[in-house]
């Protein structure tokens, strides 16, 4: 009976580990596909560009003191924009797009964004 319980626990732990690994690898692959400048998908690059321009426009009216709130709000907006175009993206990638746009367009430094 003890061996059966240990076997079941081992199988469950292995399945959980495999699922977590697939999620991490999938997120990393999606991030690399989005930010790869040599990517073949010009449509995807155009969507990312539109999102970054929208973040730039929204950040013109937001002060650095409200940066963390702005990142949260803009992350959901970017996710919605990408979803409207027929793509699915998780919040980690959407947040990365928002943070990169904030830094690239000079609204805040990378350190300020990381702290927010």
Tokens of 50: 């539109």
**Residue 81: band (very low, low, confident or very high) from pLDDT cuts 50, 70, 90:** very high
- Does this model's pTM top 0.75? My answer is no
Count how many domains the chain has. 1
pLDDT, mean over the chain: 82
Question: How far, in whole angstroms, is CA 80 from its chain's centroid?
Answer: 13
* Segments forming the whole domain that contains residue 84: 2-115
What average pLDDT does this structure show over 88-113? 89
- Class of residue 6 by CB neighbours under 10 A (exposed 0-12, middle 13-18, buried 19+): exposed
């Amino acid at each position: 009976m003890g061996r059966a319980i240990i076997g079941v626990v081992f199988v469950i732990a292995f399945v959980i580990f495999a699922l977590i690994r697939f999620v991490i690898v999938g997120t990393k692959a999606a991030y690399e596909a989005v930010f790869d400048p040599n990517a073949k998908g010009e449509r995807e690059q155009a969507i990312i560009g539109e999102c970054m321009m929208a973040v730039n426009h929204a950040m013109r009216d937001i002060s650095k003191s409200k940066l963390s709130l702005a990142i949260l709000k803009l992350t959901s907006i970017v996710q919605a924009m990408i979803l409207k175009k027929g793509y699915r993206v998780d919040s980690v990638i959407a947040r990365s797009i928002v943070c990169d746009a904030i830094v690239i367009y000079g609204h805040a430094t990378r350190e300020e964004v990381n702290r927010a």
